[in-house]
Structure 1
Amino acid sequence: MDWRAVLAGVGASVAYLLLLAGFPGTETVRLGGVPLVLATGLIAGATAGRLAPSARVGGWHGLCSGSLAGGLFAGSFWYLLALPARPPGVYYGLNYLLAVSAGQFPVVATHGPLVVALLAGVGWAGIAVCGLYAGTRAPQRHGGFIDPGHPR
């Protein structure tokens, strides 16, 4: 395992999550915030897969990087939604979706912190899976793209 590749993927995903949290206008994104957040795994996995020593291990690097990035997202999601202050950026839109759904789904209103923790875990898993996919499909170091018909 090349930890420099994994950490590069995590670093790219942290920069992306900070961009989502601080970019003006992202607080108005509601349901569109879900694929934006899941793209964190694509960024982490593609970066780690691109820097991995070979195509065979790119997926593992992407999974590891995506899992760490997903954990960072889950922790920040849970923490920012637990604060009494308004969450920044795309987190505000996700918080808005959760608050609106409380009227339609009583479980959200009665077990709010548990639902937030569950959604954070689902986000973590989704980002990790996206990292695995992107790490497998990322272009390799020698400048070529992986041929889908070529066995590894």
Structure 2
Amino acid sequence: MFTFIDENGLQVDLRFDEGPFEVEPKHVLALVQHEGKWLCTIHSSRGVEFPGGKQEENETLMQAAIREVYEETNVIVEDIKWFAYYVVHDKIPFCKAVFTAKVKEIETFVGDYETDGILWLTEEELWQQPHLSFYMRDAGMKKMLQEVKNHE
């Protein structure tokens, strides 16, 4: 387990196994890399981040990750795999499941209420991005990207 304190001063526990979970995951995050670049969304208030969101009723976490990537980026993914999960110890703790995926098809981005656009960024460009979402700047994100490299 990798534990760190996020920008909000909350303890976060990051694990690279499939449970058991102390808090059941209800949110997802997708790490999608294509041709050496990471797929990112531009959230109107949080900034640049990886696609993700909340699991809907009667939906598996994997289905949620696939749906969220498409809704936020118009990218269709395949070969989606469980990668990690993390628990944020807020007043009401919450857990986010993390998946990796490969690009199957890239459709033309159609802006909607979900995001303000997409970016494909190298890892270097990602860390230099001045408008990264708060969770993208934390030690857990750096650890996850390091682990993705270790699994390639």
**Which one has more relative contact order, counting CA pairs under 8 Å at least 6 apart?**
1
Q: TM-score, normalised by structure 1?
A: 0.25
Query: Would you tell me which structure has more strand in proportion to its own residues?
Result: 2
Q: Flag the structure with larger Rg.
A: 1
Q: TM-score, normalised by structure 2?
A: 0.25
